[in-house]
Chain A
Amino acid sequence: MAIEVKIPTILRTYTGGEKAVPAEGTTLSALIDDLESNHAGIKDRLIDNGDLRRFVNVYVNDEDVRFIGGLEAELKDGDAVVILPAVAGGAN
């Protein structure tokens, strides 16, 4: 089972510059573990204290995973996953 994962510029150091990589998993959590096994270090950039980092957005078929179960969001063959860091900041 293959799922295409789009990787943002800032995380391409973990994928040898690749903009998209294949990965496997029936949940987002499993998919991230699979990513980690091929691209060591990437998991820590996505997950903090067992949860998705506040300023990392992950989408499954254009849906923000926060609305479809977060790390438990279910995945199936052919799904498209996009990782995007939040564009955020501010004076405080």
Chain B
Amino acid sequence: MRSRPDRGTRLESVLTIDQATYDAIVAHAKRDHPDEACGIVAGPEGSDRAERFVEMVNAAGSPTFYEFDSTDLLQLYKEMDARDEEPVVVYHSHTATEAYPSRTDIGLASEPNAHYVLVSTREHGNNPGPVEFRSYRIVEGEVAEEEVTVVPTLS
């Protein structure tokens, strides 16, 4: 059973992600820099397994905002519904600030079961080099950072 983040505590839960998915998220963030990149990783409902990487278009096309296109959003959720999946990871990038949820991110977070992954490309932009890659639970306005464990493949 998944541990639930408590108010004011950190690093209680963990995001386990495979190397290929991690790399895909980072590559997407770098490619779209200086605009914010966004997407999800879907997995079987209740499994907490981030299995299916889905890159989304940032309909806002902005360096400071992201939003899934409303038609794409419906298609995505219908597809997940048909596959009995849920968004296990919701990711987006910050391109000039740290990989920490902004007030907007917190206010709009609406998937209480998801790991919210933030990638910051502020240091190297479109170029090779490390990025900040951090994960959070955001439930009812409360943010709890969690550990990220990158594995070769999900066991």
Residue of A nearest to B59 (CB): A88
Least CB distance, A76 to chain B, in whole angstroms:
20
- Which residues from 1 to 59 on chain A have a C-beta closer than 8 Å to any C-beta of chain B? 8-10, 55, 57, 59
Q: A8-B110, A9-B111 are in contact. Are A87 and B97 (CB under 8 A)?
A: no
Partner of B74, one of A84, A85, A90, A92: A84
Of the candidates A59, A88, A89, the one having the most CB atoms from chain B within 10 angstroms of its own CB is: A89
Whole-angstrom distance between the alpha carbons of A9 and B73 in the complex? 15
Whole-angstrom distance between the alpha carbons of A9 and B140 in the complex? 13
The total of chain A residues at the interface (CB under 8 A) is 19
- Which residues from 58 to 76 on chain A have a C-beta closer than 8 Å to any C-beta of chain B? 59, 62, 64, 66
Partner of B108, one of A62, A66, A86, A91: A86
Across the interface, which residues of A come within 8 angstroms of B38, CB to CB? 87
Least CB distance, A81 to chain B, in whole angstroms:
12
- Chain B 85-103 interface mask (CB, 8 Å, partner A; 1/0): 0110010101111000110
Contact indicator A10/B112 (Cβ below 8 Å): yes
Whole-angstrom distance between the alpha carbons of A34 and B105 in the complex? 31
Across the interface, which residues of B come within 8 angstroms of A57, CB to CB? 70, 73-74
Interface residues on B, range: 35 or more
Least CB distance, A8 to chain B, in whole angstroms:
7
Contact indicator A92/B102 (Cβ below 8 Å): yes
Q: A9-B113, A92-B65 are in contact. Are A86 and B102 (CB under 8 A)?
A: no
Contact indicator B111/A88 (Cβ below 8 Å): no
Partner of A9, one of B66, B71, B104, B112: B112
Least CB distance, A56 to chain B, in whole angstroms:
9
Residue of A nearest to B56 (CB): A87
Across the interface, which residues of B come within 8 angstroms of A64, CB to CB? 70-71, 74
Contact indicator A86/B104 (Cβ below 8 Å): no
Contact indicator B70/A92 (Cβ below 8 Å): no
Whole-angstrom distance between the alpha carbons of A4 and B110 in the complex? 22
Contact indicator A88/B108 (Cβ below 8 Å): yes
Known: A84-B74, A86-B67, A89-B66. 4 other contacts (CB 8 A): A9-B110, A59-B74, A84-B77, A89-B105
8 example contacts (A-B, Cβ-Cβ < 8 A) are as follows A85-B108, A86-B110, A87-B87, A87-B90, A89-B66, A90-B102, A90-B104, A91-B95
